[in-house]
Amino acid sequence: MMPHVARKVSEARKYLEGKRSSDSRVGLVPTMGFLHEGHLSLVRRARRENDTCVVSIFVNPLQFGPTEDLEAYPRDMDRDLDLLSSEGVDLVFAPDPDEMYSPDRSVTVTERDISRSLCGSARPGHFDGVCTVVLKLFNILSPDRAYFGEKDYQQLQVVRRMARDLDVDVEIRGCPIVREKDGLAMSSRNIYLGEAERRDALALSKALVEARSAFEAGERDCRKILATVRRVLEAHPLVNIDYAEIRDAETLLPVERVEGRAVVALAARVGKARLIDNTFLEP
């Protein structure tokens, strides 16, 4: 069945009012649309674990820098709605930017620690935009649980920190990366890749496989693991590394040796696309 589509905040609230009771749970999957199997894995989990399943589709202008791809960002609402009706989603919240942001808005949410490095240094203001829109979505839809992909691992940790520090009563659930058959992490931005770029983009997941192999063979020195990662990436001329780092999986602080759970995080520009990927190393 086609989900109910709400374009207005008041309409989404009204729909959910009728669904809420003390023993019924609402699960939210926040997205920017142009859905792929990665999003659908979140939707299926939210559908399974909750009584009411809500998906938001909103290309959030606040999280794009002035030179980024806001205008070009791929959109296909009809296709998204078809996919979501096959998944049994109850409500799609798809506001216009002027429904979400007043022209004189003056409050943003800033996380000042874990959002500053990695993608935060290449994309100043990006995580302020993410935190602000996610908190607004939480306030509008009051979900019990919200589902985020681990591909955007820094985003997941920043949202967790925001929810913890602001006492937002939502349980944040992270879900594993979904990959194409050949290993490329699914992303709406993969559509930007030409044929040769698509081939070279595989270097990211290959580099992570190499990192894991080195780790599984006993290597704990991050410099050595990262040297392997860089060797793989640098063998692909269309890949321009933005960062390749190993961080503590909880705090995102740099680590020299892998002694607790760590994340190998990569970002690279391949043609017009800025791609990110990661994997965990668990001693």
Give me the active site residues, please.
39
Minimum gap (Å) between residue 225 Cβ and ligand PAF: 27
Among 26, 32, 42, 208, binds ligand PAF (CB under 6 A): 32
User: Is 141 or 229 the residue whose CB approaches ligand PAF more closely?
Assistant: 141
**Residue in this structure with the two tokens 């808005």, named with its chain if needed:** 105
Indicate whether 60 belongs to the interface with ligand PAF (CB under 6 A).
Answer: yes
Q: Pattern of binders to ligand PAF over 135-154, x per CB under 6 A?
A: -----------------x--
User: Is 27 or 30 the residue whose CB approaches ligand PAF more closely?
Assistant: 30
Residues in the chain: 283
Among 134, 140, 203, 258, binds ligand PAF (CB under 6 A): 134
Pairing label, strands 91-93, 52-57: parallel
Indicate whether 133 belongs to the interface with ligand PAF (CB under 6 A).
Answer: yes
Among 27, 30, 95, 120, binds ligand PAF (CB under 6 A): 30
User: Is 62 or 203 the residue whose CB approaches ligand PAF more closely?
Assistant: 62
Indicate whether 31 belongs to the interface with ligand PAF (CB under 6 A).
Answer: yes
Considering CB under 6 A, how many residues would be counted as binding ligand PAF? 10
30 forms beta bridges with 56
Is 20 within 8 Å of 26 (Cβ atoms)? yes
Among 30-38, 99-107, 214-222, 268-276, which window interacts with ligand PAF (CB under 6 A)?
30-38
Binding region for ligand PAF (CB under 6 A) = 30-32, 60, 63, 130, 133-134, 152, 155
